[in-house]
Structures are given as structure tokens and as C-alpha cells.
Amino acid sequence: MNRRQETTMARRERESELSPRMSEHEALMWNIEKDPWLNPSGASVILLDKPLDTERFRRQIRAGIAKTPRLYQRVVPGFARLSTPAWVADAEFDLDAHIREIVLPAPGTQRQLLDLAARLYAEPLDRTRPLWRFVMINGLEGGGSALYTMIHHSVSDGIGQLRISEIYQQLTRDEDAPPPVDLDGIIAEAVAADLGKESGGDLAESPLSALRDSTSHLVRRQIGIGRRIAGELALWPADPSRISNRVDTLLETVSSAVAQLRPSDEERASGSPLWKHRSRHRHLEWVRVPVADLKAAAAVAGGTVNDAFMAGLAEAASRYHLDRGVEIDHVNSSFVLSTRHDSKAGGNAFTPVPVKLPAGPMSIQERMSTITETLAEAKQTASRTGGMTAISGVANLLPISTVTQTARAAASRIDFSTSNLRGAPFEVYCSGAKVLATIPMGPVAGTGANITALSLDGQLDIGIFIDPAAITEPEAFRTAIEASFADMFAAAVPAPRPRKQRAAKKTATKKRAAKKAATKKTAAKKRAATKK
């Protein structure tokens, strides 16, 4: 087998792991972006201790793209929206269209960098090209640099993007760059394989076959639902109790879907009275806390790290409002429930879960305990009903204007959305530079803010991506978050015992040790006497 045949087989193996079409959930995110307010892309700012080796970085990226087809594929629409959009290789792929290099004006402060990242995020990705962008940023004070990354959510969720990041990260500073790859040849072969699939704007060889295949896709989706229903009905005579259980689940699913699509009067009126306005403007803040401290606080309350994370944010929201003379009962939030069971780079396997977080006056410990129970109930409900995933297929058949209006209305009642990602628990490097921090920028998409946490080498970087029309004092909110976590960690540390108590315990310990030693000595003497 020659090298070209090996390359072809490797490409086919990589592409076989991916669906040629978007999932219903991915298609929904693709469609709603036609309203710029609902941009679903995820981004990050990676802080580095020195400038990247540019040529080494580009070589690293080329090798990574060769192994990650989504990074050289573009989107073609489904035929008449009867099927979801498809992925095909981009015949005009140009690495320079996806990688840029800029210099931050002097003095190159952290504030300048965060503001630049917010402006870069406002630049939409070119929907006719592969959906990602990297920007190398030099000129930071102290001789450091940064890497801005942006990947469309239809390409991958947060966990998948972390796996994609492995294409440009290394375990040591001087790790060798990968050998050169024939990226142009790999893409050319993929383009040739896709040429017959784009007639009619879909995975088909002609408009007629496009209609046939798209209709088949729609029918298969409905047949899949029908089979599940038929299988369920077949079990009812043997187990009548399933009827009641399934009807209850169905009603709960419908109620949940309706609640997401059409908020009640109570929900419209609830949440923060200060964070009601929305805009397309963005402001980025950053907080860093030790992972060990967050784990300790969670353990004291009997919850998870995410419970403690959400409790800290609810506490900060409460303080922000009280400092402005406003007392609130709760804030409307959401968190991401991962449904991923594979190790693929890319793809989406999650559902957003809306939740009301208690924000009234209470101790931090009480808030954490309450939130632990609240999140557990929300997870159970989402697992039963399927969350947003359950209605994506139906939403994709509706007029896009209807879907975007509905999505914007649903997002407008979320005070802040959240996500919590687990990164590398050790140091990582990028083309000769050490990664100092990674500031995540989750999609705000019509909410008041997105607050995403990402762990790295024992630290938790919290990216607070804010709509300043909603949270009009972003720096004050960041300060409230810092103070809330500091107080949470202090409350989790056991109070030191009084000096007298410690001295008494030390004396008692010495007495026990002396008594134990005396007992051993007496026993030794008895054994010696017995031997004599």
C-alpha cells in the first residue's frame, strides 16, 4: 500500500466517525444564529508566558486539521429544510483565512486584552467557510502573549472543544513539532469525494435525489419516533403501571417544552429587576480560584464542585443587588448537562437546563445546601424530559423567524447561563510557550451573561462574559464574585482551637505516649525475667 492509499484510508476512517449531517440540536444552533443576538459560538483567551513560535504553531495546526475533518469542512443547507444541514470539505480552504496575528497597542494591559477579545467575538464567523478562527496576540506587558480561539457551537460543545485544543497543546515546552502533512492533498481527496453530493445543495447527486434523500431523512426521523412509541405500547398489557408512568412523563415533557418556548407570566416577572435589558454589546471579566478550595467548600456542604460554583455565583448576584438597595428572592440561571459518552473531538452532546437559584438573604452554607437540592432535582427533570434536545427536531421544521423570536424570548428571562468544564490537571504548553490561564467565553446568546469555568493545573479560570446593557457595572459584579468565593472558602476552613485547648490536648497526648512506653518497658522486663 503506497502513502496516498494510506492517506485515503485514514481520511475515510476519520470521516466515518462523524455524521455527514448535523444533529437536530446542532442544526437548531446553526439556524438561530441568523439572529445575531443568538450567536452560539464558544471562544477563549489563552494567556501565554511568551510569544508563540509562529511557524511551529502553524505546522501544529495543519497536522491537527488533517486529523479533524470538521476543521476543513463547511456547511451546506439541507434540501428545503426537510433534512438537517450537511458537512462537506471546503474546496477553497485557506489556512490564512482562519489564523491571524495582531499586536496589542502599548502598554498591552490585561484590560486591553479582554476588551480586544470581546471585540473579536463580535466579528461573525464566515458561514461559507469552516467555522473556526484563531488569533495570535502579541504585545502584552511583561513579554507575554495570548491566543484567541473561536469555534462555532454546531462544530462542537465545550467538552469537544477541549479535545480539539489538544491539536495545538503539548506537555512540554520543547516538544517536537509533528512531521509535515500533506493537508492540501487530504482536503483535495475529501473534496473529490464530496463533489457528487452537493447538487441541489445537499448530500445528493441531483435535485431529484436530494429531494428523495431529504424526504427519507425526515421519514426516518418520524419512523424512529413511531418505533419507540410502538415498542412502548407493546409493553403496556404486561405492565399496566407503565401506562400511568409514561403518561406522566409525556405530560412532564410537554410541559417542559412549552415552558421553554413560552414563559409564564410569573417567569417573565421573576429574576433580577436590574438585569432586564439586552444588547449585542459584550464585556469580558475574569476570576481565578483554586480548585482545591472549591472542592473543600463543596465537601463541607455535601455537594459537588458545580454546586459550589453555582452557589458562589448566586451569592454574588445577591450581594450585587443588595449593594444597590434591591433584595431579590432568586435569579434565573441555567447550567449545561453533558450527555457525552465518547472521546471524540468535536460534536455536541449536552442539554441546557434552566434553574432558579436562591438569592435571598441566607448564609453561604444554607445557600449551598439549597442549591445542591435544586440542581439535583433539575438534573432529574432534564434527564426524564430530554430538555431542549427533545424539541429540536420540531423546532427545525418551523419558520426560522418563529424559532429565533421564541429563542430570544426564552433567553431574555435568563439572568446568567453557566457551564463548568474540566481541563488538564497539569501544566500544558503551546508551541514553546507555557499556558498560564485559559479564560473561557461561553455564548451569551440573549441572556444577561454567560459564566463559564475551566480548570487548569489546579486553578479554576472563570470567564464572565457580560451583556453590559443587562449588568451595567461589570467590574462590580466581578468583585462580588471574588468576594463570594473568598467568604465561601473561609467558611469551609475549620476554626482554630483556643490555645489552652491545644495545650491541654498536647499534654494529654504526651501522657498517653509516656504511658504506652512504660507499658512496653514493663512487658519487656517480664519477658526477660521469664527467659532467665
CATH of the domain at 179: 3.30.559.10
Asked whether residue 518 is assigned to any structural domain, the reply reads no
> Are 352 and 246 contained in the same domain?
no
- CATH number, domain with residue 457: 3.30.559.30
> Are 375 and 483 contained in the same domain?
yes
Question: pLDDT per residue over 92-122, tens digit each?
Answer: 999 999 999 999 999 999 999 999 999 999 9
Which pLDDT score, from 0 to 100, does residue 508 have? 55
Asked whether residue 168 is assigned to any structural domain, the reply reads yes
> Are 347 and 243 contained in the same domain?
no
Give the count of domains, the chain.
3
Which pLDDT score, from 0 to 100, does residue 523 have? 52
> Are 299 and 353 contained in the same domain?
yes
Which one, of 478, 455, 482, lies nearest residue 466 by Cα? 478
Question: Is residue 281 very low, low, confident or very high in pLDDT (cuts 50, 70, 90)?
Answer: very high
Domain that holds residue 42: 3-211
54-81 as b/e: b if 16+ CB within 10 A: eebbbbbbbbbbbbbbbbbbbbbbbbeb
- Decide: 418 and 336 in contact? Cβ < 8 Å: yes
Question: pLDDT per residue over 350-398, tens digit each?
Answer: 578 899 999 999 998 899 999 999 999 988 887 765 556 667 777 777 7
> Are 93 and 229 contained in the same domain?
no
Asked whether residue 507 is assigned to any structural domain, the reply reads no
> Are 135 and 284 contained in the same domain?
no
Asked whether residue 189 is assigned to any structural domain, the reply reads yes
Is the pLDDT at 160 greater than 50? The verdict is: yes
Which pLDDT score, from 0 to 100, does residue 507 have? 55
To which residue does cell 435571598 refer? 360
Asked whether residue 516 is assigned to any structural domain, the reply reads no
Distance CA(296)–CA(228), nearest Å, equals 44
Average pLDDT over residues 398-414: 88
> Are 103 and 176 contained in the same domain?
yes
Domain closes at, from 492, 510, 526: 492
Which pLDDT score, from 0 to 100, does residue 158 have? 61
Question: pLDDT per residue over 193-216, tens digit each?
Answer: 887 655 444 455 545 544 455 445
Q: Which three cell numbers stand for residue 256?
A: 417542559
> Are 298 and 416 contained in the same domain?
yes
Which pLDDT score, from 0 to 100, does residue 390 have? 61
Helix %, strand %, coil % of the chain (to 5): 50, 20, 30
Asked whether residue 498 is assigned to any structural domain, the reply reads no
Average pLDDT over residues 148-171: 85
Which pLDDT score, from 0 to 100, does residue 492 have? 85
> Are 55 and 153 contained in the same domain?
yes
> Are 246 and 359 contained in the same domain?
no
* pTM listed for this prediction: 0.80
Asked whether residue 511 is assigned to any structural domain, the reply reads no
Question: pLDDT per residue over 215-263, tens digit each?
Answer: 454 544 544 444 444 444 455 455 555 445 544 544 444 444 444 445 5
> Are 326 and 341 contained in the same domain?
yes
